[in-house]
Copies of this chain bind each other. A is one copy, B any other.
């Protein structure tokens, strides 16, 4: 719901006809999404609806467009939030890029540390904002009714008259873009149905209508007042239109002016935060369908979540820097993506109703609604894509096919592999019962090594100990030490005159493989788990490198026997010290 606030902050300028056109598009989208939510009660984002009805390619295009848009949501919202602040503290304007990047990083850190959206924390700013902004509108309308509305005087330095036509197009775009931002909220609701209280689909539809109504009212009200006061937007973007409105109505620096701006900034930062939840959600759906790395599907696991957040942060920050934190520059990019996704989703719904034409007598009415939605959003996507192509829309139009191709390749990789690795009942008996040749390389006769040797004896009757020496003297010394212990195991000493370690061991394993190619080789490595992380620099490096080489050998199993040093190091049991677990 917060997302619709962007509309008020995006340096808005409009005239009433445009406003009405935008409200119409919004209405069409909200109504047609009512139908989507009814048809897909368990979650109907653009990716699902488009791939379900139009086939995977359409779904992937929608998905790529949306993934890009979630990134842009962060850039645009934060840029707009910073604009709200610099409107009241103009001295910060030159630092807006730095401030925006700082906000993005703070949000990312918060999310990495697990601060998720919990309705209660975020509800307060939302209500404060709605109170402030509707209060402002009500006051403005009251003054209008009383005939005391102030007249706006543009500062002397401004040249608002130049290029009326460009300004005209700019007006349409800005207005549509604001609408677009509100529509991302629609997409979030559609994807996130399962997160609503039951009856989920019903509640989601109510939220959608409430959002649409609030946004429409806000939009209409601000538009009306801005036109009547005669506000001209600041061409340098130093002041937002909402700020101009607030200053005109309640006076520069009044407490109410600050309330409006601060609550706007806050709500915009929170709006950016929604993308941090939306992005991993869509990535998880794509991961489950094998269009993104399989691991991403486990949304509850840190890896998937963290990967998404870091990706979002880096790309969103880069965009803010590249576009100098300008909301006007970022919004066209945003608009293209979201309207492509919407158009595909709506087209999918038309197809959906066509398929149900035998069952549903009203199919043509429903298809008509979605058809109008599909058409309207497609027109917006095309207009913005062409008009703003050189100014950044090309980037989005280039990235969408790249993402789609990447997802197709990932999908093909998984599909082919699944076929190749497919196991059928009966395969399990192919190799049963082949006891491995166990090799234990040890460098010293200490407790970690003993633990490894003991484990080897526990799992196989065929264990060989290997030790690498540089010369004869070392060999004799080690044999003597070894014989003092009571192991009934063969000891192989490998001589390596140049103090190499890995190669002689690998050569020895090769020999075993040649002697006995049918049985697997299992190499047991004693590893030392130190008290502090930096101590790893002094230990295990050889074991890790050996492991890497072994991993690339066929038919070779690697076994790590970790030895924990520290509290309870004295208690040796089962080959290990088990004082405290974990």
With a CB–CB cut-off of 8 A, which chain B residues contact A551?
527, 529, 560, 562
Report A537 CB to chain B, min CB distance, Å: 6
Contact B430 A572 (CB under 8 A): yes
How many copies of this kind of chain does the complex include? Answer: 2
Contact A432 B454 (CB under 8 A): yes
Contact A298 B500 (CB under 8 A): yes
Q: Interface residues of A: mostly helix, strand, loop or mixed?
A: mixed
A561 to B458, CA, bound (A): 18
Question: CB of A165 within 8 A of chain B?
Answer: no
Closest-by-CB residue of B relative to A489 is B428
With a CB–CB cut-off of 8 A, which chain B residues contact A427?
447, 450, 485, 572
Using A485-B425, A554-B564 as known contacts, say yes or no to A459 and B459 having CB atoms under 8 A apart. yes
Contact A413 B574 (CB under 8 A): no
Q: Per a CB cutoff under 8 Å, which of B498, B556, B563, B576 touches A300? A: B498
With a CB–CB cut-off of 8 A, which chain B residues contact A434?
454, 458, 574-575
With a CB–CB cut-off of 8 A, which chain B residues contact A484?
425
A529 to B421, CA, bound (A): 12
Closest-by-CB residue of B relative to A453 is B428
Question: CB of A423 within 8 A of chain B?
Answer: yes
With a CB–CB cut-off of 8 A, which chain B residues contact A485?
423, 425, 427-428
Using A446-B423, A450-B428, A454-B432 as known contacts, say yes or no to A562 and B557 having CB atoms under 8 A apart. yes
Report A302 CB to chain B, min CB distance, Å: 8
Contact B500 A301 (CB under 8 A): yes
Report A36 CB to chain B, min CB distance, Å: 24
Question: CB of A569 within 8 A of chain B?
Answer: yes
Question: CB of A580 within 8 A of chain B?
Answer: yes
A36 to B433, CA, bound (A): 63
Which residues of A220-263 have CB atoms within 8 Å of chain B's CB atoms?
Answer: none
Contact B431 A573 (CB under 8 A): yes
A519 to B573, CA, bound (A): 8
With a CB–CB cut-off of 8 A, which chain B residues contact A454?
428, 430-432, 434
Question: CB of A448 within 8 A of chain B?
Answer: yes
Which residues of A471-489 have CB atoms within 8 Å of chain B's CB atoms?
Answer: 484-487
A541 to B460, CA, bound (A): 30
With a CB–CB cut-off of 8 A, which chain B residues contact A538?
293-294, 410, 413-414
Contact B436 A423 (CB under 8 A): no
Which residues of A108-163 have CB atoms within 8 Å of chain B's CB atoms?
Answer: none
Contact A560 B561 (CB under 8 A): no
A499 to B280, CA, bound (A): 13
Contact B455 A496 (CB under 8 A): no
With a CB–CB cut-off of 8 A, which chain B residues contact A529?
551-552
A192 to B410, CA, bound (A): 54
With a CB–CB cut-off of 8 A, which chain B residues contact A460?
459
Encoded as 1 (CB less than 8 Å from any B CB) or 0, chain A from 495 to 521 comes to: 010111110001000100100011110
A-B contact pairs, 23 of them (CB 8 A): A295-B541, A298-B499, A298-B501, A410-B538, A420-B569, A421-B563, A423-B449, A427-B485, A429-B486, A431-B573, A431-B576, A432-B457, A432-B458, A433-B457, A434-B574, A436-B458, A455-B557, A459-B522, A518-B573, A518-B574, A529-B551, A551-B562, A552-B582
Kindly list 15 other residue pairs between chains A and B, CB separation below 8 angstroms, not including A417-B565, A551-B560, A555-B577.
Answer: A293-B541, A295-B541, A298-B542, A301-B501, A414-B538, A421-B563, A422-B446, A428-B485, A430-B573, A431-B573, A510-B582, A529-B552, A551-B562, A553-B562, A553-B582
